[in-house]
Amino acid sequence: MNEEATHPDINWRRVRRFGYVVAAVVVGLPLIAFGITYAMVTTPDPKAVTDQQQTVTLYYADGSVMTTIGPASGGYRTVVRIDQIPQVVQHAVEAAEDESFETNIGLGGITTQFVRLATGVDAQSLPDQWLRLVRAVKLGHQQPKDDILAGYLNLVYLGRGAYGIQAGAQAYFGKNVADLNASEAAFLAGCIDQPAKNEDDTWTKQQWSHVLNRMVANNWLTQSDRDRYPAPPKTIAPVTGSLPPARSFIAKQVLAEAGLFGLSQDALRHAGAQIHTTIDAKAQGMAEAAAQSLKSADPDVGDALVSIDPTTGAILSWFGGGDAAQPIDTADNAAQPGPVFQPLVLLGAVRANPQITLASQYNGTSPQTIGGTQVKNFSGADCGPQCTVGDAMKNNTNTVFYKMTDDIGPMNVAKAAFEAGVSQTQVIGGKAGPSLRSSDNQTTDSIAMGSYPVRPRDMAQAYATLAANGKYKPAHFITGIASATGNPMYDADANPKLIPNQVFDPAQAQLVTQSMLTGPGLDGGRPVAAKAGATEFLDTPNNSDAWTVGYTPQVVTAVWVGHRKDLAPMQEGVDVPTGIWQRYMNAYLQGKPASQF
């Protein structure tokens, strides 16, 4: 017996109609809501991931990695195209996160998680979860699966500070994603679920095994291939901490140099720039060992070392300080050069008056009045009334070089220094201003005394011009820059500003080199031109700055010792920078043939 016969008093037609209405409401309202939401929401563009900030990588001259600089938001990321990600890696991630990804409409894990990562909305509330679901479906309709997968693989976090599959491959295996095998791919895919557990061997083994087994189940991996991996792959040790302070200064200098080419840090990060530098990793280690041998009782006394290949202008090593508590890059900080500026005085003099030779004689007595100014030699030394230029250079005779400057005019000395490579601007006391000038914007004969501050990098550059027989080859850190996808962004060989320029007559540069052959020596009697000297602190017996700068045909190195912050007396003498300079130069040149000037 049917219900209508049992209950004749009920209007069953009306009941059925009501049921139809309820069913329509239950089914229709969500569909209407979905349609309205679908029309209103926007979806993230997977291809826009390439505009994300990426990791910038700095390389030593030998191609080994110096450091990586992550996005401003933190972590490390290098964007790769889908065709750079092997199928085995793609399938491993699908096995771990969304096995039906290739066929579902967007409701699976990969598409919805890409929406979360790309929008930055974690969707904790029901309305947010609804929006994310609709966005995922719409995205699945609008975008190819490959684009969605590529976007996801470039955004997902895998632990160890690595964002994206390429950064993950580097962080865990020290290799590119293109070189991963099935076992390594499964390990990385297993890292996605709970990255905080990725240093737990038990957890990672469980995840790794699960991914490989699901790859077999989905016919993405044969059982025989699965059996080749009885245990999880070995990962490299996590890279912790940052560059030591000495090399942090190098990284800052490299980024600053890139800025000179119009490549801002933001541009470099968006490109995932690969920056190849001139820094010799072994030479840098030697420089740090030599510079850090300084042991001063005064904590503010520091040192600097800059080494250049004079044949190319490549900066081989750079030490601007090794103490994280001292933010000043001493290699880039101006200080009075004192006697080590005298070779540039002689350079200007022989160009202005080619009759000057090392045998030319000047009054080397001290004190004496020159151009209305009383001049004295360091520590009252006296070279005699007939002091040769060669002896004056050997003995740091101020009066000779002061007279030489007075004869040719101080601007001719400044011009020679600038053409040799001394920067025409210096930052002194936190303010940038014209180089080799006093506070009243004048260049006086005191330039002969090395009284105007210059940087260690300036002295290394100027002496490199002498070592190259008068040819100016701009010192530089960068040989080339390419994007993460390999597109060239900068090539030093194509930079017209780096073209060598013969700024001095080779014979005149050679004369200056010959004047320094009696300076500090090197092991084995190797031919070397060098100059050491210090500046007195006011009229006290103490020094304020001490320098040693010298070169062989293969390498030029400048070493400075002094106070990092303010001009002040110190106990250190010229023997300190000379010892640092000799230690570095001997180490660098060991095993290299001796070259004649």
User: What would the pLDDT profile of 200-237 be if each residue is shown by its tens digit?
Assistant: 888 999 999 999 999 999 999 999 999 999 999 999 98
Mean pLDDT of the chain: 88
Q: Which of 200-204, 212-216, 347-351, 414-418 has the lowest mean pLDDT?
A: 200-204
Alpha carbons 280 and 9: distance in angstroms, whole number: 99
Establish whether the linkage from the previous residue to 367 is cis, with ω within 30° of 0: yes
pLDDT of residue 325: 74
Flag whether pLDDT at 40 surpasses 60. Answer: no
pLDDT of residue 316: 98
pLDDT category at 160 given cuts 50, 70, 90 is: confident
Alpha carbons 464 and 81: distance in angstroms, whole number: 44
Flag whether pLDDT at 49 surpasses 90. Answer: no
pLDDT of residue 75: 77
Flag whether pLDDT at 37 surpasses 80. Answer: no
pLDDT in tens, 95-142: 999 999 888 876 678 888 877 777 765 555 666 665 656 665 665 666
User: What residue type is assigned to position 4 of the chain?
Assistant: E
pLDDT of residue 370: 96
pLDDT in tens, 274-304: 999 999 999 999 999 999 999 888 888 999 9
Q: What's the rounded mean pLDDT across residues 424-441? A: 86
Alpha carbons 478 and 402: distance in angstroms, whole number: 38
Q: What's the rounded mean pLDDT across residues 376-380? A: 83
Percent of the chain with pLDDT over 90: 63
pLDDT of residue 131: 63
pLDDT category at 176 given cuts 50, 70, 90 is: very high
Flag whether pLDDT at 536 surpasses 80. Answer: yes
Flag whether pLDDT at 28 surpasses 70. Answer: no
Task: Report the chain's terminal Cα–Cα distance, integer Å.
Answer: 120
Question: Where is pLDDT greater, at 77 or 192?
Answer: 192
Question: Where is pLDDT greater, at 392 or 108?
Answer: 392
Work out the widest C-alpha separation in the chain, in whole angstroms: 141
Q: Within 10 Å of residue 324's Cβ, how many Cβ atoms?
A: 11
Q: Where are the beta strands (DSSP E) in 26-78?
A: 56-59, 65-69, 76-77
DSSP state of 551: E
Take residue 166 and report the two structure tokens written for it: 């390429």
pLDDT category at 510 given cuts 50, 70, 90 is: very high
Question: Where is pLDDT greater, at 60 or 200?
Answer: 60
Contact 319, 331 (CB under 8 A): yes
Flag whether pLDDT at 8 surpasses 60. Answer: no
Q: Which of 241-245, 410-414, 424-428 has the lowest mean pLDDT?
A: 241-245
Establish whether the linkage from the previous residue to 553 is cis, with ω within 30° of 0: no
Flag whether pLDDT at 596 surpasses 50. Answer: yes
pLDDT of residue 194: 87
pTM above threshold 0.85: no
Q: What's the rounded mean pLDDT across residues 501-511? A: 98
User: What residue type is assigned to position 98 of the chain?
Assistant: D
pLDDT of residue 140: 61
Flag whether pLDDT at 1 surpasses 50. Answer: no
**Cα 590 to Cα 554, 556, 585, distances in angstroms:** 12, 15, 8
pLDDT of residue 47: 72
Take residue 424 and report the two structure tokens written for it: 């025409």
Flag whether pLDDT at 506 surpasses 50. Answer: yes
Alpha carbons 298 and 295: distance in angstroms, whole number: 9
pLDDT of residue 179: 96
Q: What's the rounded mean pLDDT across residues 326-335? A: 90
Take residue 21 and report the two structure tokens written for it: 């209405």
Flag whether pLDDT at 193 surpasses 50. Answer: yes
Residue 173's H or E segment, with its range, is helix 165-173
pLDDT category at 9 given cuts 50, 70, 90 is: low
pLDDT of residue 267: 84
Flag whether pLDDT at 402 surpasses 70. Answer: yes
Flag whether pLDDT at 27 surpasses 60. Answer: no
Exposed/middle/buried for 381, CB within 10 Å: 0-12, 13-18, 19+?
Answer: middle
- Dihedrals φ, ψ of 583, to 5°? -60, -45
